[in-house]
Amino acid sequence: MFARYLLLFLGVFACSTSAVLIRMSATDPFVLTALRLLIAAVFLAPVLRAEMRRHGAAFTRDHLRRTRLPALVLAIHMVSWTLGARMTAVAQSTLIVNLVPVALPFFLFWIARENINRAEVAGTVLAIVGLLMLSAKDALTGGGSVAGDAVCLFSMLLFALYLALGRRNRDFPSVWLYVIPVYGQAALICLVAALPWIRTFEAGSGREWAIMVGLAAIPTVCGHSLLNAAMRRIRGQIVSLCNSSQFLFAGVMGYFLFGEVPRAVFYAASAIVLAGVAIVAFSTPAESGAQEEAL
């Protein structure tokens, strides 16, 4: 039991480094996102080859076609997350983008026809109240970015849609035969979108390459893999709720690396948001929990 929760803890921590690494990089958001996804796809190429050898006969052109929309959604999510993470505080951006458990039931109802209960609606309303508190603080005090909050919220909704699409496509012969093609196609989409800014990338900068490799290896490959491993051994609601606490780790790193000290209203709003997430997570039946992946 301890080992299971240790894996969950490591997965949440790995994913929480995403906003910090993005803030440390000076690379254009489109270029950074494209290279991050491309490196992650290269890291996972051996896994893809192994899975194709095991399940290649069962992986059809229709399966590949069905990865196109999730790849597009993931690409837009990753770009918007990179933009949002640079527009507002590390802890705040991480808190907002990890509100997926609140939005996911509604996307599952729309895409997979999974019913929404009253507790999920109540928890969502409570979380929205907390978000409004954060945005109002930013608007009135100038201590943050309302636009950054909005971009992170948009990015969170896209990620919830991405997970709901994954739920609909759970009939793939292997989860890796779904995830890795999605990553590869999302990388190509971002590369095309990044072409106008590709010349701005400092290809000779070891620091920028190190940050990109870190983004691909730590939150993308390691974080996602550890959370997926935890999802197989721990109730999905618990994993989902624990994953929402990424902002705590991100906030500590933001304090030491960037000197970001959250205002008092942030803690009050965070408590309200997490209460909403808890209501949603623990009111969702275990059999309807979607596979959770972090940023």
pLDDT digits (tens, 9 = 90+) for 216-271: 999 988 887 787 667 667 765 566 667 777 888 888 898 889 888 877 777 888 88
Q: How far apart are CA 90 and CA 8, in angstroms?
A: 21
78-125 pLDDT per residue, tens: 999 999 999 888 888 888 887 877 787 788 788 867 677 788 788 878
Q: What pLDDT score was predicted for residue 102?
A: 78
pTM above threshold 0.85: no
Q: Bigger pLDDT: 131 or 52? A: 52
Share of the chain above pLDDT 70, in %: 87
- Which of 20-29, 167-176, 262-271 is least confident? 262-271
Q: What pLDDT score was predicted for residue 167?
A: 75
- Residues near 148 by beta carbon (within 8 Å), at least 6 away in sequence: 84, 86, 87, 88, 92, 93, 138
Contact criterion met (CB below 8 Å) for 31 and 82: no
| Summary mean pLDDT of the chain | 83
Contact criterion met (CB below 8 Å) for 262 and 89: yes
User: What are the extents of the domains in the chain?
Assistant: 2-288
Give me 244's structure tokens: 């929402």
- In this prediction, residues 181-190 reach a mean pLDDT of 94
- In this prediction, residues 162-170 reach a mean pLDDT of 82
Q: Bigger pLDDT: 146 or 186? A: 186
Q: What pLDDT score was predicted for residue 273?
A: 78
pLDDT for 293 beyond 60: no
40-58 pLDDT per residue, tens: 999 999 999 999 999 988 9
pLDDT for 130 beyond 90: no
289: left (phi over 0), alpha (psi -120 to 50) or beta: beta
Q: How far apart are CA 64 and CA 258, in angstroms?
A: 42
The helix (run of H) or strand (run of E) holding residue 135 is: helix 118-141
Q: What pLDDT score was predicted for residue 236?
A: 55
Contact criterion met (CB below 8 Å) for 257 and 53: no
- In this prediction, residues 136-161 reach a mean pLDDT of 78
Q: How far apart are CA 115 and CA 288, in angstroms?
A: 9
Select from 170, 166, 201 the least CA-distant residue to 69: 166
pLDDT for 138 beyond 70: no
pLDDT for 14 beyond 60: yes
Cα 50–Cα 221–Cα 195 angle in degrees, nearest 5? 100
pLDDT for 292 beyond 70: no
Q: Which amino acid is at 228?
A: N
Residue 113 exposed, middle or buried by CB count within 10 Å (0-12, 13-18, 19+):
exposed
